[in-house]
């Protein structure tokens, strides 16, 4: 399948907390790809000013639906929330 939508979550995470954030990404990357409907890719992007996780989906609807899954709400969100120095920026893009 081809990626038709991206869910981008941009997080402000202090350098000291980035290894813990990378552990959350690593722990849930494969379960995300295996279990989440429409999930095709997941990449961790790191910049000096922030950390982004870019999720590829086969539709916008499935990207939006992921934000309501138990995996996101009870595992990923709970694991990352204590590491944020500001609320994350969540965006969904359609691939043209």
Q: Which pLDDT does position 53 carry in this prediction?
A: 97
Task: State pLDDT tens for residues 2-20.
Answer: 999 999 999 999 999 999 9
Residue 1 has pLDDT above 90, yes or no: no
Which of 51, 38, 46 is closest to 5 using CA atoms?
Answer: 38
Q: Which pLDDT does position 43 carry in this prediction?
A: 98
Domain boundaries, the chain: 5-94
Structure tokens at 61: 């609807």
Q: 5-94 in CATH: which number?
A: 3.30.70.100
Task: State pLDDT tens for residues 66-92.
Answer: 999 999 999 999 999 999 999 999 999
42 Cβ neighbours under 8 A, 6+ residues apart: 25, 29, 32, 33, 53, 54, 55, 56
Task: State pLDDT tens for residues 24-51.
Answer: 999 999 999 999 999 999 999 999 999 9
């Amino acid at each position: 399948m081809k990626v038709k939508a991206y869910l981008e979550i941009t997080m402000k995470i202090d350098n000291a907390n980035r290894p813990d954030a990378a552990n959350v990404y690593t722990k849930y990357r494969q379960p995300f790809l295996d279990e989440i409907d429409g999930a095709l890719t997941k990449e961790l992007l790191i910049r000096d000013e922030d950390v982004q996780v870019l999720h590829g989906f086969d539709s916008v609807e499935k990207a939006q639906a992921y934000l309501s899954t138990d995996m996101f709400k009870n595992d990923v969100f709970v694991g990352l929330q204590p590491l944020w120095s500001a609320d994350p920026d969540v965006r969904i893009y359609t691939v043209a």
